[in-house]
């Protein structure tokens, strides 16, 4: 059995600095902070949070592998799905990627859109991490031809001016700081983080604010039975506001989200009594999400029913919902694999490409654990979801 190696001294010192920041804010707040605030600081505190600091996150040397890191086939198929929308919108369209990762998606997507004759006028990356932004810039400047690199820009916030185009987000929603709720004596409580006598983090429950309590009851009314005593999970009541903020001044266009999660009835199953919250470090699942702040990713699965509500509530038409495997297969995975194989250097490279395709699509790998959801306004995006639509499960 492979064991998780302990962090080195520099990493532990980094985590200790972030721990002190969080401890100070807990004390200033009167002894506890909502869990979502702890998650926000652990992931995004300037210069110290997991996504804000300089440690490697993606790939074999990091803590997890995303689909764009795993294989360029993912971005090639997504580009083929988005190309018809960009062509409908014309040459002034913008493609906005929320959370650019290592830049691997942008690298392949831009090249594929050029080949599809669907190149946008702008490729904007909304990236809150200054460290990741610099890594993306270095990668794309090195690997893209000047014609394509000149289209790329980095944003500090959503596009507020009127714009038309596509918003794409892969594994972004799972990293949004999420409130946690608990049911005690029939009441809705909110999970907070407090300090014990030695300054260690511990979970405590406090009365939920009206927004979270109303959101929990809204979800509960849609389930076959009420939440049981002691049931605990996540509920991102702010998702509609986040979505409206990130689309900014967007007019006509399409939205595409890819992430891991469940439709609501499966998300809040009675047996899932402690929710979906988890942490990862060096490709290992870590049980204690409060441990080593800044050194591990904290994540929660996505309620895709809530995403459907948020998208339509923001004025978009629901387009489709499917497994990642269906999205890729329905958007020319076989053709993109064949093209990549024809350009591969040798049999080993061709074998690796076929293995990547399997990892992206097999149910036991990413194929069904990850799902895709799309929305449209003033364009037709439905063809991207013709393979294996799951909207009946929402």
Question: At 287, is the pLDDT very low, low, confident or very high (cuts 50, 70, 90)?
Answer: confident
Q: What was the pLDDT predicted at 57?
A: 46
Q: What was the pLDDT predicted at 282?
A: 79
Please state the domain count of the chain: 1
Mean pLDDT of 310-336: 98
Q: What was the pLDDT predicted at 54?
A: 59
- Is residue 255 domain-resident? yes
- Is residue 42 domain-resident? no
Q: Among 15-19, 129-133, 216-220, name the one with the lowest average pLDDT.
A: 129-133
Q: What was the pLDDT predicted at 63?
A: 52
Report pTM: 0.95
- Is residue 374 domain-resident? yes
Sign, CA torsion 96/101/104/105: negative
278-281 sheet: strands from edge to edge: 284-286, 278-281, 297-299
Question: At 65, is the pLDDT very low, low, confident or very high (cuts 50, 70, 90)?
Answer: confident
Question: At 386, is the pLDDT very low, low, confident or very high (cuts 50, 70, 90)?
Answer: very high
Strands (E), 227-353: 232-234, 250-262, 278-281, 284-286, 297-299, 302-303, 317-323
Please provide the average confidence, as pLDDT, over all residues in the chain: 94
Mean pLDDT of 100-107: 95
Token representation of residue 61: 């040397």
Question: At 119, is the pLDDT very low, low, confident or very high (cuts 50, 70, 90)?
Answer: very high
Strands (E), the chain: 32-34, 94-98, 122-126, 152-155, 163-170, 180-184, 187-195, 201-207, 232-234, 250-262, 278-281, 284-286, 297-299, 302-303, 317-323, 370-377
Percent over 90 (pLDDT), the chain: 89
Question: At 281, is the pLDDT very low, low, confident or very high (cuts 50, 70, 90)?
Answer: confident
Question: At 284, is the pLDDT very low, low, confident or very high (cuts 50, 70, 90)?
Answer: confident
Looking up residue 385, the CATH number of its domain turns out to be 3.40.50.12710
288 has pLDDT over 70: yes
- Is residue 234 domain-resident? no
- The tens digit of pLDDT for each residue in 166-216 reads 999 999 999 999 999 999 999 999 999 999 999 999 999 999 999 999 999
- The tens digit of pLDDT for each residue in 3-54 reads 778 888 898 999 999 999 999 999 999 999 999 999 999 999 998 999 887 5
Which residues have C-beta within 8 Å of that of residue 306, sequence separation ≥ 6? 219, 235, 236, 239, 264
- Is residue 10 domain-resident? no
- Is residue 47 domain-resident? no
- Is residue 26 domain-resident? no
- Is residue 237 domain-resident? no
Show the domain range for 159: 67-175+250-263+302-393
**DSSP bridge pairs for 349:** none
Distance between CA 251 and CA 337 in Å, rounded? 34
60 has pLDDT over 50: no
Distance between CA 150 and CA 133 in Å, rounded? 16
Question: At 67, is the pLDDT very low, low, confident or very high (cuts 50, 70, 90)?
Answer: very high
Q: Among 63-67, 209-213, 240-244, 348-352, name the one with the lowest average pLDDT.
A: 63-67
Coil, helix or strand for 258?
Answer: strand
């Amino acid at each position: 059995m492979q064991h998780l190696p302990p962090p080195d001294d520099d990493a532990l010192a980094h985590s200790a600095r972030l721990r002190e920041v969080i401890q100070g804010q807990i004390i200033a707040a009167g002894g506890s902070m909502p869990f979502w605030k702890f998650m926000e600081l652990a992931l995004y505190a300037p210069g110290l949070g997991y996504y804000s600091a300089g440690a490697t996150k993606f790939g074999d040397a990091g803590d997890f592998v995303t689909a764009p890191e795993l294989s360029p086939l993912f971005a090639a198929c997504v580009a083929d799905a988005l190309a018809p929308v960009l062509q409908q919108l014309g040459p002034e369209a913008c493609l906005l990627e929320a959370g650019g990762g290592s830049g691997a998606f942008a690298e392949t997507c831009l090249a594929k859109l050029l080949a599809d004759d669907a190149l946008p006028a702008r490729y904007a990356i909304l990236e809150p991490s200054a460290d990741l932004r610099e890594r993306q810039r270095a990668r794309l400047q090195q690997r893209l031809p000047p014609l394509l690199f000149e289209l790329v820009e980095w944003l500090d916030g959503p596009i507020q001016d009127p714009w038309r185009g596509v918003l794409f987000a892969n594994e972004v929603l799972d990293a949004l700081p999420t409130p946690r709720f608990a049911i005690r004596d029939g009441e809705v409580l909110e999970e907070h983080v407090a300090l014990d006598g030695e300054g260690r983090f511990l979970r405590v429950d406090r009365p939920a604010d009206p927004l979270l309590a109303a959101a929990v009851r809204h979800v509960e009314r849609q389930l076959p039975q009420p939440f049981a005593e002691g049931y605990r999970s996540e509920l991102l009541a702010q998702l509609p506001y986040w979505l409206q903020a990130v689309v900014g001044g967007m007019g006509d266009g399409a939205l595409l989200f890819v992430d891991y999660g469940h439709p609501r009835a499966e998300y809040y199953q009675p047996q899932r009594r402690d929710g979906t919250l988890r942490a990862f470090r060096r490709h290992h699942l870590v049980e204690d999400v409060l441990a080593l702040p800044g050194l591990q990713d904290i994540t929660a699965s996505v309620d895709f029913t809530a995403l459907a509500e948020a998208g339509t509530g923001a004025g978009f038409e629901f387009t489709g919902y499917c497994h990642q495997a269906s999205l890729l297969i329905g958007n020319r995975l076989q053709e993109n694999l064949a093209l990549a194989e024809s350009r591969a250097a040798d049999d080993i490279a061709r074998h690796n490409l076929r293995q990547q395709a399997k990892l992206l699509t097999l149910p036991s790998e990413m194929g069904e654990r990850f799902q895709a959801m799309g929305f449209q306004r003033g364009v037709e995006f439905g063809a991207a979801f013709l393979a294996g639509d799951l909207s009946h499960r929402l």
